[in-house]
Structure 1
Amino acid sequence: MLPTPTDNGARLAAILPTGLACLAPALGSTAADALDLAFAGAPVPDGDPAPLPGLPELRSLVLIVVDGLGHANLQERAGHARTILSMPGRRIETVAPSTTGAALTTLTTGRLPGSHGLIGYRIRHPELGLVTTLRDWDGIEPIRSWQRAEPLFGLAGRMGARPLAIGRPAHADGGLTSAILSDAEYLGGQRIEDRFALASQAVRGPDPVLAYLYIDELDKAGHEQGWGSDAWLARLEQFDAALDGFLRGLPGGVGVVLTADHGMVDVPQHGQIVLDEDPIPGVALIGGEPRFRSLYLEDGADPESVAREVESRLGKLAWVGTRDAAIADGWFGETGADVVPRLGEVLVAARKQVAFTLRGDDPRALAMVGQHGSLSAEERGIPLRLGGALAGSGFASALARVADRVR
């Protein structure tokens, strides 16, 4: 069976809403009004009329998202990330599955996967079949029918901030960009240092800024060579040095939040298990990704029976459970009726350092060393680090309160 979540990613979802509450006074609004707008009138938990006492006030906010930088990965390489570790912070947890499309969408919308709809890596579209949330957007119209939640950049703009998304030029266009970064002005910088330079210039401008700064180099190095590789370590050191320069030159009134979408585990070649080498009775399609498989069943197949069969085959290598049980346990937050069929009726999450591959997998996917997607502490644990005007503030405590509204 699947474990019970202690955190379903609600604090990750709460980062931008809490950031907007910090910006609100400088924009002529209140923190409470900003949160009401961010959550479309969702009630304050426990009826508390002032849930965020002492929330820091900011002129601008920079949210730095480092793809693939897990809390455990960071702690293991602490000597190479002195700037990051000098920032006050704590461990939080990402969404389930711990995959980029689901987590980044949660970050930019303030909604959990059951609400925004990008509830995994390779999920079922009602007309197009299995599609990946990172790449397969052809034929999906309108985009908001698939990614169901509005990104919060539009709200930031209406409040009076300049919303920015800063990433590599290659990410400026595409389906996922349109789905999760709409209403943000996109600024492209090829190198990590270029992106920090763009953010530094922006927060020195005349307008309050809400900037989302995306770093994908560590994730790429981890997939190709493993997070324990020299290549991953070199990218960590490059990022840490660029971050140091950025923080040293930061003007007053600018808060910085650093987080990630997921952590990573390295899977050796002998840890690859071909899940469909022997057909699984009742299974019609297999989606998801190697560390979190989604089994779509034939009509009439019983999910409980299929789950027991898969569990008997894999033993302690995996957590296995039904989709209905995972939804009932709150793994994905409140899950819309049209989102439920996007997942298979049976879910298989890697428990050890293994990957559940398929016979038809692309050789490039089979060559990947660093993996993520499952429910392990290494994959779900991510850093929350605070800098600039947020260092030493009550932001983390406020974030926990706002997360109650997300749940």
Structure 2
Amino acid sequence: MSGLDSRIWDSSYVLPDYNGGSIVNLMASIARGQNACGGRYESLNLLGPEQVAQHRQVSLIVVDGLGYDFLLEHRQIAPTLASHTLGSMTSVFPSTTAAAIGTFLTGVAPVEHGLTGWYVYMRELAAVLAVLPGFGRSGAAHYHGRIDVGELLGTTPFVARLDGDTHMVAPRSIANAPFNRAHLHKSDLHVYDTLQEMFQLTAAAIAGPEQRYTYTYWPDLDHTGHMQGMGSGATLALLADLEREFVRFLDAIQGTDTLVLLTADHGHINSNAERTFLLNDYPEIQQHLRLPLCGEPRAAYAYVNAGAEDAFLDSIACSFGDALTVRPSQTILAEGWLGPGDPHPSLESRVGDFVLIPEDDRMVRDWLPVERSFPLQSAHGGLSNAEMLVPLVVAESG
């Protein structure tokens, strides 16, 4: 394969379409539509900057885990959301919260912001961290008062480009987390406890005659999907709640000249413990690793001991056969999976030596002795349609 000329790499993989079809292109359209720099990225094919510019206000609502396929499959539960869906966009690679929220909050692809998955090897701290909450997986480091998280990550907030008022609406659980505050910049922060309050605060942030940009984030659908599965009654009940509150929100903001854009960071694929390769059960593989797995269960970065590369690949092939695809990390960078642009200074150290991509609905995981294992009923990070495609829901208030 050469470059990313086509969204489809083969019959089962969906690659990010950074040439006008991904969430980073949405951010470019928003920036240009608000008279700001769109950077190196093309505007989104589905929604050009001229459409954004027709409105004084832009409200971007990110529903964690709301896949395009999932929404259309359950359109009877969410008819308004489905009827306002303009089409699908791809997420970034990996199709996960850290990488995609990193794109929403910076306006650039993972190659530039350097957030390569939930677990990231931070060479600067000699530790593996869950990069959003900032707790350590391997090594003693974590975010604390002595660390300037913005300086550590080396990212520039998207809202720094915008001249108008900016607002962030975030759940109490993460609103004042160091990662969130590092990307707040000049935005007013609005903290909510319930979905109803989230939409009420978003509507209140929109009120006013000035040009405004509001970013709103809701994590509950993703969390429940992980724990109970995307087809569970609890997850579908949350989708129904989202539909109800979205309709109320649209009624509340009539007359504000707002362009409402609701989308997601990624979708989900259902899985379970029986479909998981647990590397703790394969000491012949683990002996070749110098760090625990990083990234995601659906796209894991393997850090291999120097000189053990061939033995590692042989062990993977003998244990998993065609059920696990292995790609050299340098290859996916060269092929543009993480996007075009100037690589983040720490990018190569954050993608390991190889990327492990389980086939079908499988996952690959490991556990450290100090960790409490927990099962997942759905996952993301990989290259399936269910994980990679997210909806673009568009509504306009007069």
Task: Report what 2:143 is aligned to.
Answer: 138
Deviates more, 1:194-203 or 1:176-185: 176-185
- Where structure 2 has 5 or more consecutive residues not aligned to the other structure, the ranges are 2-8, 135-141
Is the aligned partner of 1:60 residue 2:66?
no
What SS does the corresponding residue of 2:153 show, helix, strand or coil? Answer: coil
Aligned pairs for 1:226-305 (under 5 A) are 226-250=229-253, 251-279=255-283, 280=285, 282-285=288-291, 286-302=293-309
- Where structure 1 has 5 or more consecutive residues not aligned to the other structure, the ranges are 25-33, 46-50, 391-407
| Per-residue deviation, 1:246 | 1.1
User: Aligned equivalents of 1:43 and 1:22: distance in 2?
Assistant: 14
Deviates more, 1:247-256 or 1:97-106: 247-256
| Per-residue deviation, 1:359 | 4.1
User: Aligned equivalents of 1:109 and 1:371: distance in 2?
Assistant: 24
One-letter amino acid of the structure 2 residue matched with residue 181 of structure 1: L
User: Aligned equivalents of 1:98 and 1:351: distance in 2?
Assistant: 15
**For the structure 1 residues 53 and 257, does the alpha-carbon distance in structure 2 shift closer, same or farther, using more than 3 Å as the test?**
closer
Is residue 207–residue 256 contact of structure 2 (8 Å, CA) maintained in 1?
A: no
**For the structure 1 residues 220 and 388, does the alpha-carbon distance in structure 2 shift closer, same or farther, using more than 3 Å as the test?**
same
Is the aligned partner of 1:188 residue 2:191?
yes
Is the aligned partner of 1:96 residue 2:93?
yes
Is residue 8–residue 331 contact of structure 1 (8 Å, CA) maintained in 2?
A: no
Cα deviation per residue 1:67-114 (whole Å; 9 max; x = unaligned)? 011111112211101110110411111111111111101012111111
Task: Report what 1:222 is aligned to.
Answer: 225
Is residue 89–residue 386 contact of structure 1 (8 Å, CA) maintained in 2?
A: yes
What SS does the corresponding residue of 1:102 show, helix, strand or coil? Answer: helix
| Per-residue deviation, 1:53 | 6.0
One-letter amino acid of the structure 1 residue matched with residue 117 of structure 2: G
Is the aligned partner of 1:107 residue 2:116?
no
User: Aligned equivalents of 1:53 and 1:169: distance in 2?
Assistant: 35
Task: Report what 1:15 is aligned to.
Answer: 26
User: Aligned equivalents of 1:52 and 1:96: distance in 2?
Assistant: 24
User: Aligned equivalents of 1:359 and 1:201: distance in 2?
Assistant: 44
User: Aligned equivalents of 1:6 and 1:144: distance in 2?
Assistant: 29
RMSD over aligned Cα atoms = 2.6
Task: Report what 2:378 is aligned to.
Answer: 370
Task: Report what 2:4 is aligned to.
Answer: none
User: Aligned equivalents of 2:278 and 2:29: distance in 1?
Assistant: 43
What SS does the corresponding residue of 2:327 show, helix, strand or coil? Answer: strand
One-letter amino acid of the structure 2 residue matched with residue 7 of structure 1: P
What SS does the corresponding residue of 1:235 show, helix, strand or coil? Answer: helix
Q: TM-score when scaled to structure 2?
A: 0.85
2:66 maps to which of 66, 69, 72: 69
| Per-residue deviation, 1:64 | 0.6
One-letter amino acid of the structure 2 residue matched with residue 272 of structure 1: T
**For the structure 1 residues 271 and 164, does the alpha-carbon distance in structure 2 shift closer, same or farther, using more than 3 Å as the test?**
same
Is the aligned partner of 1:332 residue 2:341?
no
What SS does the corresponding residue of 1:14 show, helix, strand or coil? Answer: helix
User: Aligned equivalents of 1:85 and 1:44: distance in 2?
Assistant: 26
What SS does the corresponding residue of 1:78 show, helix, strand or coil? Answer: coil
1:356 maps to which of 364, 369, 373: 364
User: Aligned equivalents of 1:21 and 1:284: distance in 2?
Assistant: 44
User: Aligned equivalents of 2:225 and 2:372: distance in 1?
Assistant: 14
| Per-residue deviation, 1:276 | 3.6
Is the aligned partner of 1:316 residue 2:327?
no
**For the structure 1 residues 323 and 102, does the alpha-carbon distance in structure 2 shift closer, same or farther, using more than 3 Å as the test?**
same
Cα deviation per residue 1:171-212 (whole Å; 9 max; x = unaligned)? 221122023333321101111111111111222224322001
Q: TM-score when scaled to structure 1?
A: 0.83
User: Aligned equivalents of 1:225 and 1:373: distance in 2?
Assistant: 18
What SS does the corresponding residue of 2:34 show, helix, strand or coil? Answer: helix
User: Aligned equivalents of 2:279 and 2:41: distance in 1?
Assistant: 44
One-letter amino acid of the structure 2 residue matched with residue 228 of structure 1: G
For these two proteins, the number of residue pairs brought into alignment is 368
What SS does the corresponding residue of 2:193 show, helix, strand or coil? Answer: coil
**For the structure 1 residues 291 and 55, does the alpha-carbon distance in structure 2 shift closer, same or farther, using more than 3 Å as the test?**
closer
Task: Report what 1:124 is aligned to.
Answer: 121
User: Aligned equivalents of 2:280 and 2:64: distance in 1?
Assistant: 30
Deviates more, 1:69-78 or 1:275-284: 275-284
Identity between Structure 1 and Structure 2 (%): 25
Return the structure number with greater helix share: 1
Cα deviation per residue 1:19-73 (whole Å; 9 max; x = unaligned)? 232233xxxxxxxxx22xx42xx4989xxxxx96666421100001000111111
**For the structure 1 residues 43 and 134, does the alpha-carbon distance in structure 2 shift closer, same or farther, using more than 3 Å as the test?**
closer
| Per-residue deviation, 1:301 | 3.2
Deviates more, 1:121-130 or 1:360-369: 360-369
| Per-residue deviation, 1:365 | 4.9
| Per-residue deviation, 1:236 | 0.4
User: Aligned equivalents of 1:62 and 1:94: distance in 2?
Assistant: 19
| Per-residue deviation, 1:8 | 4.7
Task: Report what 2:214 is aligned to.
Answer: 211
